[in-house]
């Protein structure tokens, strides 16, 4: 009994030591740089190991891990097995936390993209001008894509979009990033797609397998940009709003109309979200000037969201907000950092 107590105390101490160690690493520039270099090595290895399967290995791993953890938790409630179960839970938590930080966690502390862009005032007038610009861009590009029988945008070939994203990864501006792109297709439809629809999660990056998971149930207007966003995580951009910005750079310069439209539409919606509390009338006017095709897409999105509202959506929105803030990011309800990056970038690039 005493031996079991000392074991649990030891592993609890190790976990606390890890918290302090990685917190210290996050404050040291050379340490963060070391983890960035490590990521460049491991991301290609992981993609080569796991990309070949048509299903998500990461999802399966999470399911198996969840079952194992639940098994240990149940055993921890039984008097005879409590000590051993708690001991194993502490070991598992130590291993998972260590691997996560080595593979991904430290990337939240790399040099922010914003430091590579010129300072400029993020005024309401600039955001309005960009909103008007992207309204016209989206209206024009929308006419180039296909529709379903209800007149809603539908994707012709998802594989072509994925191929285009991998191609555009290599064309990112050198002053923004020098991260390596390997053209390894590791996009996977998540096995949890139906559940994800009720959580508000469009996709996620699995740091243990380097797979870019996406919800295959999403409306087509969401899908291409979601893939571009998740591919940005694969490149090594951990912060959510920076992944949005890299996804924007991937999509906005694409020759694929579906990817380009989804990116322009996302950018327009982000701009409108940043404006609405300052000038609601302007936003309503922009929405009124959507093309008929875009209005159908918007209605389809709203229908999808309304059909998947509920407790899970609220819960995951809350927990994701806490996670973002714990990693020195803005909460999930704000677009301001992405808009800040966008406006700064547009001040030097007029495309």
Is the pTM value of this prediction over 0.85? yes
What does the alpha-carbon distance between residue 189 and residue 53 come to, in Å, rounded to a whole number? 11
Compute the distance between CA of residue 107 and CA of residue 25 in angstroms, rounded to an integer.
11
Q: For residue 19, what are the CA distances in angstroms to 14, 24, 233, 280, 288?
A: 9, 9, 23, 44, 51
pLDDT given at position 266: 95
Extended beta strands in the chain, E state: 187-189, 203-206, 211-214
**How far is CA 137 from its chain centroid?**
24
* 3-class DSSP assignment, residue 146: coil
Q: For the chain, which residues score pLDDT lower than 70? A: 1-6, 309-335, 349-351
What pLDDT shows up at residue 5?
Answer: 62
């Amino acid at each position: 009994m005493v031996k079991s107590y000392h074991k649990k105390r030891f592993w609890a101490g190790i976990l606390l030591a890890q918290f302090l160690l990685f917190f210290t690493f996050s404050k040291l520039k050379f340490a963060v740089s070391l983890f960035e270099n490590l990521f460049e090595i491991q991301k290609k290895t992981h993609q080569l190991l796991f990309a070949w399967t048509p299903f998500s290995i990461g999802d399966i791993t999470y399911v198996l891990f969840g079952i194992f953890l639940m098994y240990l938790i149940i055993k921890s409630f039984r008097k005879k097995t409590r000590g051993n179960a708690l001991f194993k839970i502490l070991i598992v938590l130590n291993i998972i936390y260590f691997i996560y930080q080595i593979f991904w966690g430290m990337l939240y502390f790399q040099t922010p993209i914003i430091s590579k862009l010129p300072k400029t005032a993020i005024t309401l007038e600039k955001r309005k001008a960009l909103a008007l610009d992207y309204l016209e861009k989206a209206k024009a590009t929308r006419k180039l894509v296909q529709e379903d029988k209800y007149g809603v945008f539908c994707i012709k070939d998802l594989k072509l979009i994925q191929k285009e994203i991998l191609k555009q990864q290599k064309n990112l501006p050198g002053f923004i990033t020098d991260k390596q792109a390997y053209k390894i297709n590791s996009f996977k439809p998540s096995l949890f797609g139906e559940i994800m629809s009720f959580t508000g999660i469009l996709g996620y990056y699995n740091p243990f397998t380097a797979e870019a998971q996406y919800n295959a149930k999403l409306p087509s207007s969401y899908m291409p940009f979601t893939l571009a966003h998740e591919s940005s995580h694969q490149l090594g951009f951990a912060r959510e709003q920076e992944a949005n910005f890299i996804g924007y750079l991937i999509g906005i310069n694409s020759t694929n109309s579906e990817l380009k439209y989804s990116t322009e539409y996302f950018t327009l919606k982000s701009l409108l979200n940043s404006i609405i509390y300052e000038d609601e009338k302007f936003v309503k006017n922009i929405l009124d000037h959507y093309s008929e095709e875009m209005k159908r897409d918007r209605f389809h999105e709203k229908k999808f969201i309304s059909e998947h509202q509920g407790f899970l959506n609220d819960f995951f929105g809350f927990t994701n907000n806490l996670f973002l803030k714990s990693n020195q990011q803005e909460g999930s309800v704000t677009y301001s950092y992405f808009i800040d990056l966008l406006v700064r970038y547009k001040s030097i690039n007029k495309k």
